[in-house]
Amino acid sequence: LSGFLAASNYRSNPKGFYDKGSLFYSKAAKYPANKTASAYFAFGINSQLSGLPKLAALPYPSRTALFGEARLPDETKLPPSGGTMDSLGQPKVRDKRFVSRYNGVGIITFCDGHSEAFRATTQAEILDTNKVIWDPTK
């Protein structure tokens, strides 16, 4: 994207990662107090797509998650799981690290290019493959 710095450019200036003009900043995310020690991504690419065929070959692109809201250490997890703490803030997301940070709603962008505000209060809701597919091989 023209005019935006790549994430790697913030290694020498992590504070700039969180500026309002940064492509990676989310005003709604609850970043940790020590956020300038590292880059915490508030959204990421679906990690379950790694090693899969081209997006055009996916059987259900309109239900397969491409990007989603990624939970940070200070945000509420979806019960019963929610992912381990060491995996939070990475530029990748999956069902266990998804967060509903807008009053019980999180944004998911699907492989066909559309985005949806997805209401989820439990992990079971985010695992409903009639609505969202995280791992297209299952």
Domain ranges in the chain?
A: 39-126
Phi first, then psi: give them for residue 61, nearest 5 degrees. Answer: -60, -30
Average pLDDT over residues 49-71: 88
Q: pTM of whole model > 0.95?
A: no
Q: Which single residue is written with the structure tokens 């709603």? A: 105
Among the residue ranges 59-63, 85-89, 96-100, the one predicted with the least confidence is: 85-89
**Which helix (H) or strand (E) element contains residue 66?**
strand 65-69
Contacts of 45 (CB under 8 A, 6+ apart): 66, 67, 91, 92, 93
Q: What is the DSSP letter of 76?
A: P
Q: What angle do CA 42, 50, 112 make, to 5 degrees?
A: 70
